[in-house]
Amino acid sequence: MRERQEKPEWFAGNSDNEPLSLWTSNNSKMEIAELMLGIYLAKVLRTPDGMVMEYREVIRLVERAFGVKISNHRELKRDIFKRTHELVIFLKRLIFLIEQERDKKDA
């Protein structure tokens, strides 16, 4: 809400029911669930009254931001924890991309 007040141009043309952006990968729900699970476990998001957001609240936030419905978020969370080979595929990819960009800038 603070960003909406401070930077209204970021939200121009978007009603409260329209997504702010679109997630465009083929595995969007699992990637979103993985990312939001990490954010939830880090306990960095809070409700307006200062309470740490629950996992379902974090999912609702991202549903609104990206215009997707993740009705099976509990199953996706369970599937992430059931992984035996690579637990966080998408998060590792993000780390790789950030490190790759850093290396390009250092070169």
For the chain, the domains span: 2-106
Q: Is the pTM of this model over 0.85?
A: no
Q: At what angle do helices 28-42 and 55-66 cross, to 10 degrees?
A: 130
Give residue 4's pLDDT.
60
Those residues of the chain that have pLDDT short of 70 are 1-16
Query: What is the structure's pLDDT at 3?
Result: 62
**What pLDDT score does 8 carry?**
61
Torsion angle defined by CA atoms of residues 91, 52, 10 and 23, in that order, rounded to the nearest 10 degrees: 30
pLDDT, residue 21, reads 87
Supply the pLDDT for residue 40: 96
Structure confidence by residue, pLDDT tens digits, 35-52:
999 999 999 999 999 999
Q: How much is the pLDDT for 19?
A: 85
Q: What is the mean pLDDT of the chain?
A: 87
Rg (CA), the chain: 16
